[in-house]
């Protein structure tokens, strides 16, 4: 603001700032790079967070909030007529059957509303759903592998037990993961369903989507669904917990602010150092301006305009790179409003960073008096703690140069060590939570598991004759390399509900073999003392407060329901026993053996999963032979430790790889500061170095002196990383180990490879910069350098 009695010097200030910018192109590049890097990191992290949240919302948006099971076709029709429901999908799961061609066929019936609701899992990409008994819609994988490349309107051959013969293809389905599981999805018509031998009129499922779903919470919808279910008699209703979790999930700005804090720390040190060196180099120019009448306020405005223009350019570049990177990584997560918030957050954080970074240099420039400015000479700072009669050598002179400006040395060490400390912590975490150790949690006994895997309920399979029987055990034991077969899980799928909440999951049997492990995972309450007491996973109690110790709930295993009491809660991470990479069928409940026999006395064997103990030297042969055994039997699946290791490696590369990339990017702040400081030091010491050369200092000695100073900076930064980073990484790794390995603390491993690479870059950069600057100076004559 300019008062009426003041002269408006804004145009002069702008011209001076513009000329100052034109005279310091190297500094400008360094500032723009530092700001752009900071803006890129903040913007990319914010964009990724909002993109992931948006993708999760897109997956559940306009799908379903609840599912009614055990309903008849007329009940589904009645649901379609309810005014509060926007969409009702009709679905019937016929189950899996093994084909003589070697694949497993998963037969389903669904209507068009159901196809739309389940579009994220199964999509009708071409054609239409079947309407006649001799029509089917099949997957692309089936047509390419077993359908002889048939197209819509042509016939394919099915050779399973329930469906065999020629069928006309009316549509093509897209179903993820079919090739890996060798499981082909086949949709049949309602006419074929009603003619199927195993058809149950009350076996339909209805997936419902409410109108104005954003105006109701889960409790309101669940209460309304229970009222509707009561009209159908025994119909069970379950709420889609993924829908409510994803729909109400907030954006993870905690991670964004954590990254922003690291970026602020690194950027602040670097930008302040760059401007402080720039102000020192031009301090005499500011003194001359003061002698001709420039006020401290005008000097301050000149430096601020320089920083504002450079900061604006850097922020713009960083935002464009961040948004572009987010779109490239998650194109389906774009949301204009959320991206706008991410960009606004980036601009605010980075503008604040630039403003506080230049505060100290601006103060120095504005407060310098004309006389002090004339006496000041950059590069002639006092050497601290200089001893008299010191023997001069290139090495000792390098040490002396390193000690000239302690603030500059500390600035370089801090900017370099931030990325180094983060890299040390992340790399140590990677070694602590190795994929092999994480996968071994699911395979404590052997490297292979064989388990029940079918769309049919487990109790029906077990009642008809559990395929995990003595005959199969003997066949497995006869395989060369197999030493033992252990029944590790006896389990049934269960549904459990209180008066307010309803959930579903696997209910495992408490046996003598797992009792001690389950008791070790207990976090509250006590082990079951009677037949009608159960243990519940803490994950369900966190989402449903009424599912706590002492609460009564209805447990349904199959078609039979009993009332049980929750005697205790167990930590699911300490009792992880699921199959597949995601372990979706891990135990949700543990119940006494007597309860299983009371509910299902007709079942002789409740075996759900076997662990195969084998000779490590014959692992490949055992795995291939067991695959043959499993592929020839329906309702069985096989899980291997190698599949879990690959999944853990993928997860580690995503999570820890991202953190390592972040640490290297933050390390770039230090590299920018190092380059700027090294170049500024050498530029300011041209006259000094030329005088030394004129009195006999050779080019090789000058190079040794410069390299020594650079090595001091690198060594100081490396020591900072070790002294501060090692205790932090050891503490973090101990916590990671406890959470990953059920409370056990594994020995700490130092990441020699990653830190060796870090030190190589650090010391190599110093050597290269020092040698390059000395060679550049040697190209100029001593007279030219002394005149500069």
Q: Token digits for 473?
A: 């055990």
Q: Is the pLDDT of residue 233 over 60?
A: yes
Average pLDDT, the chain: 80
Among the listed residues 551, 544, 545, 546, the one whose alpha carbon sits nearest the alpha carbon of residue 566:
551
**Do residues 176 and 319 share a domain?**
no
Is residue 602 domain-shared with residue 733, that is, in the same domain? no
Is residue 448 pLDDT above 80, yes or no? yes
Indicate if 42 and 124 belong to the same structural domain: no
Highest mean pLDDT among 515-519, 590-594, 686-690, 736-740: 590-594
Check residues 211 and 781 and name the one with the higher pLDDT. 211
Same domain, 553 and 583: yes
Looking at the structure, tell me whether residues 780 and 695 fall in a common domain: yes
Please tell me the distance from the alpha carbon of residue 39 to that of residue 349, in angstroms, as a whole number. 8
- Round to whole Å and give the CA distance between 286 and 28: 18
Per the structure, the complete domain to which residue 541 belongs is given by 454-634
Closest CA to 346 of 672, 38, 668: 38
**What's the mean pLDDT in 381-396?**
58
Residue 101 lies in a domain: yes
Residues 277 and 211 in one domain: no
For residue 381, what pLDDT band results from cuts at 50, 70 and 90? very low
How much of the chain, in percent, has pLDDT values that exceed 90?
A: 12
Residue from 671, 731, 766 nearest 270 by CA: 671
Give the model confidence (pLDDT) of 277-297 as tens digits. 667 667 667 677 777 777 778
Averaged pLDDT, 328-336: 82
Please report the pLDDT score of residue 380 as a whole number: 46
Pull the structure tokens for residue 436: 């092999």
* Look-up of token digits 């002789």: 604
Category of 561 on φ-ψ map: left (φ > 0), alpha (ψ -120 to 50) or beta: beta
Contact, 255 vs 49, CB < 8 A?
yes
Please tell me whether residues 96 and 229 are part of one structural domain: yes
Is 358 strand, coil or helix? coil
Identify whether residues 257 and 225 lie together within a single domain: no
DSSP-H helix ranges across 453-589:
458-465, 470-477, 515-520, 538-543
DSSP secondary structure string for all residues of 396-448: HHHHHHHTS-HHHHHHHHHHHHHHHHHHHHHHHHHHHT-HHHHHHTT-SS-SE
Average pLDDT (393-399) is: 75
For 239-255, write each residue's pLDDT tens digit: 776 676 666 555 666 66
- Which of 170, 204, 239 is where one domain is finished? 239
Asked if residue 578 belongs to a domain, the reply is: yes
Beta bridge partner(s), residue 135: 168
Question: What confidence category does residue 180 fall into, taking pLDDT thresholds of 50, 70 and 90?
Answer: low
Q: Is the pLDDT of residue 4 over 80?
A: no
Task: Write the burial class of residue 261 (CB in 10 Å: 0-12 exposed, 13-18 middle, 19+ buried).
Answer: exposed
Say whether both 206 and 276 belong to one domain. no
Q: Which of 613, 634, 655 is the last residue of a domain?
A: 634
544 has pLDDT over 90: no
In this predicted model, which residue has the larger pLDDT, 389 or 116? 116
* DSSP symbol at 619: H
- Is residue 386 a part of any domain in this protein? no
Last residue of a domain, one of 239, 259, 277: 239
Residue 110 token pair: 């669904």
Least confident among 257-261, 533-537, 622-626, 652-656: 652-656
Do residues 507 and 655 share a domain?
A: no
Q: Is the pLDDT of residue 102 over 60?
A: yes
Q: What is the DSSP string of 709-772?
A: HHHHHHHHHHHHHHHHHHHHHHHHHHHHHHHHTTT--PPP---HHHHHHHHHHHHHHHHHHHHH
User: Which residue has better confidence, 450 or 103?
Assistant: 450
> Does some domain include residue 463?
yes
Task: Write phi, then psi, for 102 (nearest 5 degrees).
Answer: 110, -5
Please report, to the nearest 10 degrees, the dihedral formed by the alpha carbons of residues 93, 95, 99, 102 taken in order.
100
Q: Which residue has the higher pLDDT, 218 or 75?
A: 75
> What pTM value is reported for the model?
0.62
Strand partners, 566: 534
**What do you get for the CA distance between the two ends of the chain, in Å?**
40
Mark whether 678 and 788 lie in a shared domain.
Answer: yes
The rounded percent of the chain whose pLDDT value lies above 70 is 82
Q: How far apart are CA 366 and CA 309, in angstroms?
A: 19
Q: Give pLDDT tens digits for 465-489.
A: 898 999 899 999 998 989 999 999 9
pLDDT grade for 616, boundaries at 50, 70 and 90: confident
pLDDT at 269: 73
Which structure tokens are listed for 244? 């409510």
493 inside domain = yes
User: How many domains, in total, are found in the chain?
Assistant: 4
| Residue 60 belongs to a domain | no
Higher pLDDT: 760 or 23? It is 760
Backbone angles phi, psi at 622, to 5 degrees: -60, -45
- Asked if residue 449 is part of any domain, the answer here is no
Q: For residues 289 and 299, is the Cβ–Cβ distance under 8 A?
A: yes
- Residue 106: pLDDT band by 50, 70, 90 thresholds? confident
Whether residue 409 sits in one domain with residue 360: no
Q: Where are the beta strands (DSSP E) in 571-681?
A: 587-592, 607-614, 636-640
pLDDT at 379: 46
Packed helices 406-432 and 253-281: angle between N→C axes, nearest 10 degrees: 150
Question: How many Cα atoms sit within 13 Å of 583 on the Cβ side?
Answer: 20
User: What is the 3-state composition of the chain as percent helix, strand, coil, each rounded to the nearest 5?
Assistant: 55, 20, 25
Whether 445 is covered by a domain: the verdict is: no
Phi/psi region, residue 189 (left: phi>0; alpha: psi -120 to 50; beta: rest), is: beta
């Amino acid at each position: 603001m300019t008062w009426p009695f003041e002269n408006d010097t804004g145009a002069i200030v702008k011209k001076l700032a513009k000329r100052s910018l034109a005279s310091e192109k190297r500094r400008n590049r360094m500032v723009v790079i530092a700001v752009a890097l900071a803006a890129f990191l903040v913007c990319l992290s914010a964009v990724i967070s909002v993109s992931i949240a948006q993708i999760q919302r897109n997956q559940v948006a306009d799908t379903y909030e609840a599912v009614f099971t055990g309903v008849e076709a007329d009940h589904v029709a009645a649901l379609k007529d309810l005014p509060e429901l926007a969409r009702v999908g009709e679905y019937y799961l016929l189950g899996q059957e093994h084909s003589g061609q070697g694949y497993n066929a998963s037969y389903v019936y669904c209507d068009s509303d159901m196809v739309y609701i389940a579009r994220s899992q199964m999509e009708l990409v071409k054609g239409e759903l079947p309407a006649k008994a001799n029509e089917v819609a099949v997957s692309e994988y089936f047509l390419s592998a077993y359908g002889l490349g048939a197209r819509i309107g042509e016939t394919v051959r099915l050779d399973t037990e329930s469906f065999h013969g020629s069928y006309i293809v009316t549509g093509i389905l897209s179903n993820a993961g079919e090739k890996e599981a060798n499981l082909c999805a086949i949709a049949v018509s309602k006419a074929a369903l009603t003619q199927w031998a195993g058809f149950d009129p009350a076996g339909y499922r209805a997936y419902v989507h409410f109108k104005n779903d954003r105006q109701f919470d889960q409790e309101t919808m669940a209460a309304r669904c229970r009222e509707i279910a009561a009209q159908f008699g025994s119909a069970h209703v379950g709420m889609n917990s993924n829908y409510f979790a994803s729909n109400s999930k907030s954006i993870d700005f905690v991670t964004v602010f954590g990254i922003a804090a690291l970026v602020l720390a690194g950027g602040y040190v670097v930008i302040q150092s760059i401007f402080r060196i720039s102000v020192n180099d031009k301090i005499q120019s500011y003194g001359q301006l003061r002698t001709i009448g420039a006020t401290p306020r005008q000097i301050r405005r000149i430096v601020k305009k320089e920083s504002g223009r450079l900061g604006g350019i850097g922020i713009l570049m960083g935002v464009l790179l961040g948004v572009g990177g987010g779109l490239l990584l998650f194109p389906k997560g774009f949301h204009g409003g959320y991206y706008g918030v991410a960009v606004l957050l980036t601009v605010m954080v980075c503008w604040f960073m630039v403003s506080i970074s230049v505060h100290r240099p601006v103060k120095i420039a504005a407060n310098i008096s004309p006389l002090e400015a004339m006496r000041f000479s950059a590069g002639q700072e006092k050497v601290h703690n200089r001893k008299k009669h010191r023997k001069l050598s290139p090495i000792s002179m390098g040490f002396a140069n390193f000690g000239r400006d302690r603030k500059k040395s500390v600035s370089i060490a801090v900017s370099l060590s931030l990325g180094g400390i983060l890299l040390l912590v992340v790399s140590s975490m990677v070694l602590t939570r190795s994929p092999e150790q994480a996968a071994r949690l699911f395979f404590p006994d052997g490297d292979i598991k064989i388990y029940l895997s079918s769309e049919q309920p487990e109790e029906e399979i077990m009642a008809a004759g559990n395929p995990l029987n003595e005959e199969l055990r003997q066949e497995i034991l006869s395989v060369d390399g197999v030493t033992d077969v252990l029944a590790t899980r006896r389990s049934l799928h269960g549904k459990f509900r209180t008066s307010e909440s309803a959930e579903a999951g696997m209910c495992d049997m408490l046996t003598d073999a797992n009792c001690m492990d389950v008791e070790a995972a207990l976090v509250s309450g006590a082990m079951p003392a009677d037949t009608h007491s159960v243990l519940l996973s803490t994950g369900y109690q966190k989402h449903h407060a009424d599912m706590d110790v002492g609460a009564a709930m209805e447990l349904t295993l199959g078609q039979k329901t009993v009332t049980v009491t929750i005697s205790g809660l167990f930590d699911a991470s300490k009792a992880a026993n699921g199959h597949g990479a995601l372990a979706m069928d891990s135990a949700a409940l543990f119940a006494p053996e007597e309860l299983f026999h009371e509910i299902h006395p007709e079942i002789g064997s409740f075996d759900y999963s076997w662990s195969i103990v084998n000779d490590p030297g014959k692992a490949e042969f055992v795995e291939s032979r067991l695959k043959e055994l499993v592929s020839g039997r329906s309702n069985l699946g096989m899980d291997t430790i190698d599949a879990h290791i690959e999944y853990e490696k993928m997860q580690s590369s995503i999570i820890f790889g991202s953190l390592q990339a972040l640490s290297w990017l933050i390390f770039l702040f230090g590299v920018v500061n190092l380059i700027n400081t090294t170049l500024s030091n050498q530029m300011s010491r041209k006259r000094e170095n030329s005088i030394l050369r004129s009195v006999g200092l050779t080019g090789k000695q000058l190079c040794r002196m410069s390299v020594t100073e650079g090595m001091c900076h690198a060594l100081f930064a490396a020591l900072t990383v070790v002294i501060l980073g090692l205790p932090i990484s050891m503490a973090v790794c101990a916590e990671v180990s406890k959470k990953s390995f059920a409370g056990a603390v594994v020995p700490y491993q130092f990441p020699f490879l990653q830190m060796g690479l870090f030190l190589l870059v650090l010391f190599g950069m110093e050597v290269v910069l020092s040698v390059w600057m000395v060679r550049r100076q040697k190209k100029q004559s001593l007279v030219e350098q002394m005149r500069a």
